[in-house]
A = this chain, B = another copy of it.
Amino acid sequence: MTGKNELTFERPLTTVDVVIFTVRDDSLKVLLVKRSSSPDDPFPGAWALPGGFVDVSIDETLEHTARRKLAEKTGVQSPYLEQLGSWGGKSRDPRGWSSSHVFFALLPSDAIRPVAGGNAEAVNWHVVPVQPTRKRMAFDHAEILAKAVDRLRSKVEYTSLPTFLLAEPFSLPQLQKTYEIILGRPVDKSGFRTRALSADFLIEVGEMDVGAPRPAMGYRLADRNRLVYFPRAFSPRASSTFDG
């Protein structure tokens, strides 16, 4: 809109953050990194979402930046990945006007190789509490995490998302348990099985010895790149308010 390609105005900082979820030890967990304790950095020592600045010289797209960050922290190449949204403003980063493009990843907990990769910060799985416990985090990451958990929970009501949190093969009881952990409430077994099996996205791959008295049938996804939408949600959803 300048008429000539000046573009001399100040540019906001541009970062990409990734909310990485897994289910482990019967809990929903999110991967957080501890920020450097140097007082020259913002939020020294605080926990934050993994992420960082876009590197204009190596990143082709925002999604590439996200995958780069993901691989750095977890070693995982192809998890379920979707965009969550973006956050930007004058006061969220003390270093200046900044915007973050945030992605949302799901991975099976055994897919992660013992982290603590490139740089030396601590990296840890943190339990996501059922209540939105507003723990203190760097930047506006608590708000971002809350939104990610919202999105996860609401999509789990009517999609096959939890399949991306399990290693294959998995059993239907394992999958049901994963739904229950994320939703924080029990799910009826019979209805769950009919729903899952009639959606035609699971392939039987023989019985699994789950260490339980009776072995369960093992399944894998017919297509790891397909998210299934069930015809109805588990339970009707309440209406939501947007800021008008």
What residues make up the interface of A, taking CB atoms closer than 8 Å to B? 1-5, 7, 9-14, 36, 38, 40-41, 52-57, 59-62, 78, 80-83, 85-91, 95-97, 99, 101, 119, 199, 201, 223-229, 231-233, 236-244
Is the Cβ of A239 less than 8 Å from the Cβ of B228? yes
A10 to chain B, nearest CB (A): 5
A1 to chain B, nearest CB (A): 6
CA distance A85 to B83 in the complex (A): 7
Other-chain contact of A7, B3, B13, B87, B233 (Cβ < 8 Å) = B13
Report chain B residues within 8 Å CB of A83: 85-86
Other-chain contact of A229, B4, B12, B238 (Cβ < 8 Å) = B238
Is the Cβ of B90 less than 8 Å from the Cβ of A60? yes
Is the Cβ of B12 less than 8 Å from the Cβ of A95? no
Contact (A242, B88) CB under 8 Å given A95-B5, A99-B62, A236-B231: no
Report chain B residues within 8 Å CB of A55: 9
CA distance A236 to B230 in the complex (A): 8
Is the Cβ of A239 less than 8 Å from the Cβ of B90? no
CA distance A239 to B158 in the complex (A): 11
CA distance A52 to B56 in the complex (A): 20
Report chain B residues within 8 Å CB of A54: 12, 88, 97, 99
A172 to chain B, nearest CB (A): 19
Q: Sample 29 A-B pairs with CB under 8 A, ordered by A number.
A: A1-B53, A2-B41, A4-B38, A5-B40, A7-B95, A10-B56, A11-B11, A11-B13, A54-B88, A59-B89, A60-B89, A60-B90, A61-B88, A62-B86, A62-B88, A78-B244, A80-B244, A81-B244, A83-B85, A83-B86, A86-B101, A88-B101, A99-B99, A223-B241, A225-B244, A228-B239, A229-B237, A229-B238, A231-B233
Q: Which residue of B has the minimal Cβ distance to A16?
A: B88
Report chain B residues within 8 Å CB of A62: 86-89, 99
Report chain B residues within 8 Å CB of A243: 225
Report chain B residues within 8 Å CB of A227: 239-242
Report chain B residues within 8 Å CB of A233: 231-232
Is the Cβ of B85 less than 8 Å from the Cβ of A61? no
Report chain B residues within 8 Å CB of A85: 83, 85-86
Q: Could you list 16 further interchain pairs (A-B, Cβ under 8 angstroms) beyond the known A56-B90, A56-B96, A82-B242?
A: A3-B36, A3-B38, A4-B38, A9-B55, A12-B54, A54-B99, A59-B90, A61-B89, A81-B242, A85-B85, A88-B101, A99-B99, A199-B239, A229-B239, A229-B240, A231-B232
